[in-house]
A and B are shown apart, each in its own frame.
Chain A
Amino acid sequence: GESVGLHLPTLSVQEGDNSIINCAYSNSASDYFIWYKQESGKGPQFIIDIRSNMDKRQGQRVTVLLNKTVKHLSLQIAATQPGDSAVYFCAERNGANNLFFGTGTRLTVIP
């Protein structure tokens, strides 16, 4: 499958600060990208998605940036809260419509 990896396996931030989680992907043909949040003992939860014809998309407190030139994806969380502590995965969809997940980054919010 495709290689989707993350630069930082762990990230600790102070409550109220902004968080940035990065992801690199290898398949230049991927057309759709998703960020998921996984809390302990739960399945991944959809956060935000972006198509390859966009370079930025905003949600509630979250922003996803896509740089197709360097095949890089990032998730920005504004005013990080303790409830944001989780493992975050990026995923890319290839031409066969299958979703491939990155390694994951564990975000810890320090009160």
Chain B
Amino acid sequence: SAVISQKPSRDICQRGTSLTIQCQVDSQVTMMFWYRQQPGQSLTLIATANQGSEATYESGFVIDKFPISRPNLTFSTLTVSNMSPEDSSIYLCSVEVVGQGSNEKLFFGSGTQLSVL
């Protein structure tokens, strides 16, 4: 397994500002991902955070809005830029851990509850 620390755990932000969310893992992992969970809904993959290169974004998400850093194998940040109320969501960091028998498992942090006024 992996222990994932995500901060802040929650924040209330003003429209037009930006927030950077940090994700720290207790071990080196190859794959790190950022998900969004809108109120009462399921999880949507934003992007894969690639170490040493630009993140890979899913359809509907762009780097200008959600810049991601991945400076090493244990840390990543997601920035929500120029926020609007529609960005109010839970943002979740996740990591993939390869276990016995090459079974990959995805573990999640506790998430960042973002409210934009």
Contacts and interface: CB of A to CB of B under 8 A. Distances in A.
B27 to A, nearest CB: 16
B58 A101 contact: no
Contacts of A65: none
B105 A103 contact: no
Interface residues of A, number: 22
A102 B106 contact: no
B105 A43 contact: no
Interface of A is mostly: strand
Contacts of A104: 41-42
Interface of B is mostly: strand
A100 B106 contact: no
Contacts of A103: 41-42
Q: List the 9 closest pairs (A to B, CB-CB), nearest first.
A: A43-B108, A101-B43, A101-B42, A43-B110, A44-B108, A43-B111, A104-B42, A103-B42, A43-B109
29 contacts: A1-B45, A1-B59, A34-B105, A34-B106, A41-B110, A41-B113, A43-B4, A43-B6, A43-B108, A43-B109, A43-B110, A44-B43, A44-B92, A45-B108, A49-B105, A51-B103, A89-B42, A89-B43, A91-B43, A97-B31, A98-B45, A98-B58, A99-B33, A99-B106, A100-B45, A102-B42, A103-B41, A104-B41, A104-B42
